[in-house]
Amino acid sequence: MTADRPAATRAFWDGLTGEEGEFARQAEYGRAMWAAEPNWGDWSIPESELRILPADLAGLDTVELGCGTAYFSGWLARAGARPVGVDASARQLALAAALQAEYGTDFPLLHADAERVPLRDATFDLALSEYGASSWCDPERWVPEAARLLRPGGLLVFLTASPFLTLCTPAEGRAGDRLLRPYFGLREVETPAFGTTEFQLPYGQWVRVLREAGLVLERLAELRAPREASTPWPFVDAEWAHRWPSECVWVARKEPVDHPIGSVFMGTP
Ligand SMILES: C[S@@+](CC[C@H](N)C(=O)[O-])C[C@H]1O[C@@H](n2cnc3c(N)ncnc32)[C@H](O)[C@@H]1O
């Protein structure tokens, strides 16, 4: 792994928004998403079809970990929630603030590492990540951190690439129909060209990490591309993602009462 992974990740995202071309592209994407109806992932599958979020968001305290341009929190604010966006990149947050102003919405944006969030325990009803902490942070750190921020009974919802996609994607170019790396031991995925590290786990390890953080898995939505769909991103196409799931939405609930694993009495006295 890169010696200082958080610094390398920050530099990548700060740098991305610093380049004219990429800045323009990201701002354009963020602006289009702010204007859109809530939808999920590369294939823009409407929330009204998937029904992943709580039906009534009004009054919910929400935190988005790795919010980037914060369009997801913008959608939540429009639905009456009280969002907080957290991101490690000052440049991304500047873009988020500009888009907030453009869309007449205002909610707190916090410049912080999603693996160590300077917010109090048990203060949110919904923790969310859409290719933010869910891709860029160590699951052994950010998932317990999200669980800490949730009230008992609160929901963690995150979107990230599927383990299938990670296994089939080469260092450069689009995903193919061959497994290119071992499944067992899957964890850090490096992109040498950018000097960055992202994270992916085998399905069973995701379930373990959630369970150890006191979260109970309620749903795993495997997103399927419509046959004719298109995406602006270069690593997967609709033909692939119609056959295999390229993205997953994980939904897990914090146990309503604290009883950490191991505290349940198992034996005879
Ligand atoms: C794909 S982007 C954001 C996704 C967001 N849904 C969007 O499209 O604007 C990933 C974001 O994760 C943020 N990020 C990466 N590592 C982070 C960390 N350790 N803590 C907080 N944010 C982080 C990056 O700065 C970047 O803004």
Computed over every residue of the chain, the mean pLDDT equals: 91
- Which of 74-78, 126-130, 187-191 is predicted with the least confidence, judged by mean pLDDT? 187-191
Q: Are 74 and 103 in contact (CB under 8 A)?
A: yes
- pLDDT exceeds 80 at position 234: no
Q: How confident is the model at residue 11 (pLDDT cuts 50, 70, 90)?
A: confident
pTM assigned to the model: 0.93
210, 159, 213, 167: which is closest to 186 by C-alpha?
A: 167
Q: How far is the CA of 142 from the centre of ligand 1 (A)?
A: 13
The arithmetic mean of pLDDT across residues 75-99, rounded, is 96
SS (H, E, C) 125-168: EEEEEECCHHHHCCHHHHHHHHHHHEEEEEEEEEEEECHHHHHH
Query: Which residues, judged by CB distance below 6 Å to any ligand atom, belong to the binding site of ligand 1?
Result: 6, 9, 13, 30, 66, 68-69, 72, 86-89, 92, 113-115, 130-133, 136-137
**What is the per-residue pLDDT for 27?**
82
Q: Ligand 1 pocket test: pick from 5, 10, 75, 89 the residue with the most ligand atoms within 8 Å of its Cβ.
A: 89
| CATH number of the domain located at residue range(s) 5-254 in this protein | 3.40.50.150
**What is the per-residue pLDDT for 86?**
98
- pLDDT exceeds 50 at position 263: no
Q: How far apart are CA 128 and CA 158, in angstroms?
A: 5
Q: How confident is the model at residue 269 (pLDDT cuts 50, 70, 90)?
A: very low
The arithmetic mean of pLDDT across residues 99-113, rounded, is 97
Q: Which atom of ligand 1 is the closest one to the Cα of 13?
A: 25
- Which of 18-27, 75-84, 246-255 is predicted with the least confidence, judged by mean pLDDT? 18-27
In this structure, what token pair is assigned to residue 145?
A: 């951190």
Q: How far is the CA of 96 from the centre of ligand 1 (A)?
A: 11
Chain segment 35-57, per-residue pLDDT in tens: 999 999 999 999 999 999 999 99
Q: In Å, how far from its chain's centre is CA 86?
A: 12
Q: Which atom of ligand 1 is the closest one to the Cα of 86?
A: 21
Q: How far is the CA of 231 from the centre of ligand 1 (A)?
A: 19
49, 51, 44, 98: which is closest to 70 by C-alpha?
A: 98
Taken as a whole, the chain contains a residue count of 269
Q: What percent of the chain has pLDDT over 90?
A: 77
